[in-house]
Amino acid sequence: MSEQVLNKETISPVTQDSEIDLEAAFSESHIQDILDKLDQELVGLKSVKNKIKEMAALLLVDRIRKSLGLTAGAPSLHMTFLGNPGMGKTTVAMRMAEILYRLEYIRKENVMLVTRDDLVGQGIGQTAPKTREVLNNAMGGVLLVDEAYTLYRPDHPGDFGLEAIEILMQVMENQRDDLVVILAGYKTQMEHFFHSNPGMNSRIGIHIEFNDYSVDNLLIIAQSIVRTQNYCFSPDAEQAFREYLIRRKTMPHFANARSVRNAIDRARLRQASRLLNSGKKINKQDLITIEAVDILASRVFREGVPDCEPES
């Protein structure tokens, strides 16, 4: 019996003498459905989406090659996601896990999201069991380590993060067929992390950079959020929010889509307070419309507000 490619329920068998229709194999794998879902979930990020599609193509071809006895060594699946917060890195990790699972590179579709606190203990002898417990629970799926650069703290002698890094590296090397690790964080900090930990860098085969959203894309995200929440911007409010984004992007701690969502939440608070204090009867349109005044009341528009002051 010929060996089958991919999931036996979705892909036709391939023999040594078969002519292979890669487009048909791609279609039967339903990977395009996952890519379409990713495209609907995240605005922009064209380079990221293209990279994920390229990886899906590589994995599909690799599975077909293996079915024909054409081995080239398993592709390195450990990854780094480089970029600022609020760029959809967790969403991309989830869709990547779906692709890996569908193509049978992992046993579980799970993505376990952890940070330094989940891996590093506070005292001697605490880090190893914490790290190993996380790894055991993640085994068979994808482990996403957010702000991975915080594991390495050279300014803190005796920091236990190095112990977690060593254990993580061992598992990434010795059990790479049963666990995919994604390290995420700011680009500059992650580059420093890899420079200081070359052993970790050598285990990462794929680096994906998440460039910040443009103002236009952030406005599209904002419009989607308010629409989902059964609100809308008035024309003046939409223009005010565009100006808000232009200003807010230049300030510290800007977190892209996350900051957009937070700004909309605050605008809703101001809208509710405005309606309550208006002393007038209101209608449905009043309840759903965010006006420019609800945006312009933000401290982002105040003259002389220090850049370091939190947004509001």
The per-residue pLDDT for 155 is: 78
* CATH number reported for the structural domain that contains residue 101 in this entry: 3.40.50.300
Same domain, 297 and 280: yes
Same domain, 183 and 231: no
pLDDT tens profile 128-149: 999 999 999 999 999 999 999 9
Please answer whether residues 147 and 117 qualify as being in contact, where contact means their C-beta atoms are separated by less than 8 angstroms: no
Sign of CA dihedral 107, 109, 115, 121: negative
Same domain, 155 and 195: yes
**Among candidate residues 175, 195, 210, the one where a domain is terminated:** 210
Q: Is residue 185 part of a domain?
A: yes
| 158 CB neighbour count, 10 Å cutoff | 7
> At residue 225, what is the residue type?
I
* CATH number reported for the structural domain that contains residue 235 in this entry: 1.10.8.60
Range of the domain at 124: 22-210
pLDDT tens profile 28-53: 778 899 999 999 999 999 999 999 99
Same domain, 35 and 105: yes
Q: Which is more confidently placed, 296 or 304?
A: 296
Same domain, 178 and 242: no
- Residue 117, Cα to own-chain centre: how many angstroms? 19
Residue-by-residue DSSP string for 242-295: HHHHHHHTTSTT--THHHHHHHHHHHHHHHHHHHHHT-S---HHHHHEEPHHHH
176 pLDDT above the threshold of 80: yes
SS3 of residue 13 by DSSP: strand
Same domain, 205 and 260: no
102 pLDDT above the threshold of 60: yes
Same domain, 56 and 196: yes
15 pLDDT above the threshold of 60: no
CA nearest 106: which of 137, 64, 142? 142
Q: Is residue 311 part of a domain?
A: no
The size of the chain, in residues, is 312
Hey, what are 181's tokens?
Answer: 């690790």
| Average pLDDT, integer, range 76-90 | 93
Same domain, 48 and 95: yes
Tokens 């977690």, located at residue: 164
The per-residue pLDDT for 288 is: 96
Rounded Cα–Cα distance for residues 118 and 171 (Å): 16
Same domain, 205 and 118: yes
Residue 213 carries which DSSP code? P
Rounded Cα–Cα distance for residues 255 and 213 (Å): 10
112 pLDDT above the threshold of 60: yes
> At residue 38, what is the residue type?
L
> At residue 30, what is the residue type?
H
Rounded Cα–Cα distance for residues 164 and 116 (Å): 9
CA nearest 114: which of 54, 181, 25? 181
Q: How confident is the model at residue 1 (pLDDT cuts 50, 70, 90)?
A: very low
Q: Is residue 308 part of a domain?
A: no
The per-residue pLDDT for 24 is: 78
Please answer whether residues 27 and 38 qualify as being in contact, where contact means their C-beta atoms are separated by less than 8 angstroms: no
Same domain, 242 and 271: yes
Hey, what are 141's tokens?
Answer: 């799926």
The per-residue pLDDT for 311 is: 60
The per-residue pLDDT for 303 is: 64
The torsion of the CA quartet 143, 144, 150, 153, rounded to 10 degrees, works out to 30
Q: Is residue 268 part of a domain?
A: yes
Same domain, 246 and 197: no
Q: Is residue 244 part of a domain?
A: yes
Strand-pair partners of 82:
185, 209
**Among candidate residues 210, 237, 262, the one where a domain is terminated:** 210
Q: Is residue 15 part of a domain?
A: no
| Average pLDDT, integer, range 247-254 | 91
Same domain, 178 and 238: no
Hey, what are 106's tokens?
Answer: 């992992």
**Among candidate residues 150, 181, 210, the one where a domain is terminated:** 210
| Average pLDDT, integer, range 242-258 | 93
Q: What percent of the chain has pLDDT over 70?
A: 90
Q: How confident is the model at residue 7 (pLDDT cuts 50, 70, 90)?
A: very low
End-to-end CA distance of the chain: 65
Q: Is residue 282 part of a domain?
A: yes
The per-residue pLDDT for 88 is: 93
pLDDT tens profile 261-285: 999 999 999 999 999 999 889 999 9
206 pLDDT above the threshold of 60: yes
Three-state secondary structure readout of 106-132: CCCCCEEEECHHHHCCCCCCCHHHHHH
Hey, what are 276's tokens?
Answer: 């309550």
| Average pLDDT, integer, range 86-100 | 94
| 228 CB neighbour count, 10 Å cutoff | 8
Q: How many domains does the chain have?
A: 2
Q: Is residue 307 part of a domain?
A: no
| Average pLDDT, integer, range 102-118 | 93
